[in-house]
Amino acid sequence: MSKLDGKTILVTGASRGIGAAAAEALAREGARVVLTARDGKLAGEVAQAITRSGGRATAQACDVSDYAAIEALVADTERQFGRIDALINNAGVIEPIARIADSDPAAWARNIQINLVGAYHAIRAVLPRMTAAGGGRIVNVSSGAAIRPLEGWSAYCSGKAGLHMLTRAIALETAEQGIRVFGFQPGTTDTDMQVQIRASRMNPISQIPRGDLIPVAHPAQAIVYLCTQAADDLSGQEFSLRDEAFRARIGLGGV
């Protein structure tokens, strides 16, 4: 029996990058995965690839910044599969990359609306259902930027800092209700987001050569771990893939 047999897991931002790799890894462990992104076609292609290799996956387009859309997706998933055992709150954007004095107010607000409000939307939609079902897991994909300011990334850093606090707030409010919640910082991972970052030439992160970036399989492995009971005692905390003790615990070698 695989670690996640019989579990239904919703992954936001699953059309590419860390979300797609996490959905594939979760499905390999037996979970039924529901993939979502604004580009439903691309998310559908990832779901089809999972199905072709023997996993169980469906996909639906959804913009997490639209509460009605994510509520409808969650309700639909519950109707089809009975319950949602875990939410991987992974959808995110880096833009606008600009110094505060030069930034576009609408673009700045849009970042917060996706990275922080969008994550809250998904949590708000799943939490009452998880509580009624007796428990569930939420993994909020955070960033080192939640605790470290970086030039040109004020929107991204502020949104991820808010998400970091949201993880702690969920833990405070749900400790008695069987909800396990984790913040997870993947580290600089080789995805399209890093292509945008390199092109910006804005801060030291943009100077990291592609060859030094983390492969998506590593954060995917961490997300699988956080979806298993082995992670229960870590609930309410945020972990970085750069942390040696955490890497050892999830079975990854040194950085």
Residue 34's Cβ-count burial label (10 Å; 0-12, 13-18, 19+) is buried
Contact by Cβ (8 Å): 162, 187: no
120 a catalytic residue: no
Contact flag: residue 146 with ligand NAP (CB under 6 A): no
Part in contact with ligand NAP (CB under 6 A); list of ranges 8-16, 121-129, 225-233, 242-250? 8-16
Contact flag: residue 11 with ligand NAP (CB under 6 A): no
Contact flag: residue 15 with ligand NAP (CB under 6 A): yes
Choose among 100, 106, 71, 99: nearest CA to 87: 71
Q: In what order do the strands lie in the sheet with 56-61?
A: 56-61, 32-37, 8-12, 86-89, 136-141, 179-185, 238-240
Written in H, E and C, the secondary structure of 1-33 is: CCCCCCCEEEEECCCCHHHHHHHHHHHHCCCEE
Contact flag: residue 17 with ligand NAP (CB under 6 A): yes
Of residues 173, 192, 232, 244, which one binds ligand NAP by CB under 6 A? 192
Of residues 2, 5, 6, 39, which one binds ligand NAP by CB under 6 A? 39
Shortest spacing between CB 144 and ligand NAP, in angstroms: 7
Q: Please report how the helices 17-28 and 40-52 are oriented relative to each other, as an axis angle in degrees rounded to 10.
A: 30
Part in contact with ligand NAP (CB under 6 A); list of ranges 23-31, 59-67, 78-86, 123-131? 59-67
Shortest spacing between CB 132 and ligand NAP, in angstroms: 25
Shortest spacing between CB 197 and ligand NAP, in angstroms: 7
- Closer Cβ to ligand NAP, 77 or 191, answer by number: 191
Calpha distance 181→168 (Å, rounded): 8
Contact flag: residue 221 with ligand NAP (CB under 6 A): no
Contact by Cβ (8 Å): 129, 171: no
Residues 79 to 118: which contact ligand NAP by CB under 6 A? 90-93, 114, 118
Write out the residues near ligand NAP by the rule CB under 6 A: 12-19, 37-39, 63-65, 90-93, 114, 118, 141, 143, 186, 188-189, 191-194
